[in-house]
């Protein structure tokens, strides 16, 4: 197990807010942000040379078991946002990520999530060593 | 192959418009209607004694290959809508449905779709006879 | 301000999992649950004789500022779920809700959220007394 | 009114398929494609020096009144797609677009849509001349 104040990995993803993602208040609906966080994790994986798509093909599934989001300011249609995704902790069975979403330097959202490593039947399954190493855990 | 002016099957589904389904114009986003149509097909299947979920478990997949929607009037958050779903044509390889969505007698949307019968690998696969019979084809 | 172990209000909503809500793992995607929680709040409002739709028309907006979800077990396509939504705290500026989602007695998800009362411009705005009373705060 | 075989405008948008956009068949759900088409229209507007966001702020709303999609081949999670969006007809009250979606040269989807120009109350409203000119109509 590895834990530190410094993230094991950090990556950035640019996001353009879609019209379909906005609600009658004219802002991005609060359920859309976790979709973006998932995009951040996909890109972070790719940065480590891991394709999450191939991971699933090989029988490793990472399922969100906990999610916490704090919404500080709204995002609007066509906004260009910068998402920072960090892997903050990696064990054989769990991955913890942290997220910060900004627009022009203003922080809109902070979030954390925990992913569990599962097999194709949804049962806990230890991450392969090689994979855990790539994640820096 | 069976074709007639009268639908092979017709069913009704009540729909309550969700906040998350509405956009900055304050109306249900146009991409949500086909989600409702799919709900209508699930219920129509159930009415015929077929669980679409079990159908997939048995290796029969029905994929949308064509969709046409005409939006006559908008639906709004918290509206209570009535969806009429009809199976209008059934062959060994394709199912055609028609949809009408109303609110208090006012027609909001008309649509049609074509589904293709596929196997788990996405290849065309004839519908089992027993199933086709149930669909009335 | 009112706070107690017992919720101020509790309501139940039945949910049928839609095909479009499920992901390649074959389970409801984790971002769909907060959509259901929002449906629970809409129904809880209605139970108190308040239409959230009319609330917005009158210039009162309730925006999610914090959300936490724990996913204990997955929901699958066509599952029939029972959502329990509770208002656990109500002040002039914030509402706190708790959620439990079950399928046949098995708890799938626990969650809490905080909503802030805003005006049409997204600025904090105290809830009208009459409204706060209805919420039991 | 202007009509020709050659589109008035054409633009390209790159799309990365999100995990949340895929369904239990492991492919992008058919309701996601029209979300992408809308992104294509936003970018096509931007290419013409028009911000659709500002358009709405100025009281011009473009609502989808007809949509037709043909799904030739599926898109999968993490696929990199190329969307070609064309404005094929522009009148004072309607805009017609055509779409083609490709992956590595393989066409996945063809679609057309009709948008109506509305005011903030959802009533038909002629497009301003300056705007129609920009659209090439």
Give me the DSSP letters along D6-24: S-SEEEEEEEE--GGGB-T
* D19 with C20: Cβ contact below 8 A: no
pLDDT tens, residue by residue, A15-67:
999 999 999 999 999 999 999 999 999 999 999 899 999 999 999 999 999 99
Which range is least confidently modeled, A65-69, B32-36, B51-55?
B51-55
Partner residues linked to C87 by β-bridges: C9, C97
Q: Look up residue C111 and give its two tokens.
A: 């969650």
**First CA to last CA across chain C, in angstroms?**
6
Q: For residue B21, what is the DSSP state?
A: G
pLDDT at C5 (0 to 100) = 65
Q: Do residues A22 and A76 make contact, with C-beta atoms less than 8 angstroms apart?
A: yes
* A122 with C74: Cβ contact below 8 A: yes
Q: Do residues B61 and D25 make contact, with C-beta atoms less than 8 angstroms apart?
A: yes
* B39 with C18: Cβ contact below 8 A: yes
Q: Look up residue B87 and give its two tokens.
A: 């199976």
pTM of the predicted structure, to 2 decimals: 0.95
| Chain B with chain D: Cβ pairs closer than 8 A | 61
Chain D residues with beta carbon closer than 8 angstroms to that of B71:
63-67
pLDDT tens, residue by residue, D66-105:
999 999 999 999 999 999 999 999 999 999 999 999 999 9
pLDDT at D135 (0 to 100) = 84
Angle at CA of residue C120, ends C117 and C124, nearest 5°: 35
Q: Look up residue D128 and give its two tokens.
A: 């301003």
**First CA to last CA across chain B, in angstroms?**
6
* A42 with D78: Cβ contact below 8 A: yes
Going by pLDDT thresholds of 50, 70 and 90, the confidence category of residue A5 is low
Q: Is C51 helix (H, G, I), strand (E, B) or coil?
A: coil
Q: Is B95 a residue whose pLDDT tops 50?
A: yes
Chain D touched by B74 (CB under 8 Å): yes
Residue A58 Cα distances to A118, C137, D77, D129, angstroms = 12, 52, 15, 57
Please report the residues numbered 15 through 34 in chain A whose beta carbons come closer than 8 angstroms to any beta carbon of chain C: 24-25, 27, 30-32, 34
Q: Report the C-alpha gap between A95 and A93 in whole angstroms.
A: 7
Q: Is C98 helix (H, G, I), strand (E, B) or coil?
A: strand
């Amino acid at each position: 197990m590895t834990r530190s104040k410094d993230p094991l990995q950090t990556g950035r993803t640019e996001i353009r807010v879609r019209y379909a993602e906005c609600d009658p208040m004219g802002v991005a609906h609060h359920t859309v942000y976790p979709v973006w966080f998932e995009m951040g994790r996909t890109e972070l994986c790719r940065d480590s040379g891991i394709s999450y798509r191939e991971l699933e093909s090989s029988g490793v599934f990472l399922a969100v078991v906990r999610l916490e989001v704090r919404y500080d300011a709204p995002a609007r249609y066509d906004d260009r946002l910068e998402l920072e995704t960090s892997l903050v902790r990696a064990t054989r069975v769990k991955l913890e990520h942290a997220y910060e979403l900004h627009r022009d330097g203003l922080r809109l959202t902070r979030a954390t999530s925990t992913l569990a490593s599962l097999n194709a039947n949804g049962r806990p399954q230890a991450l392969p060593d090689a994979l855990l190493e790539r994640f820096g855990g």
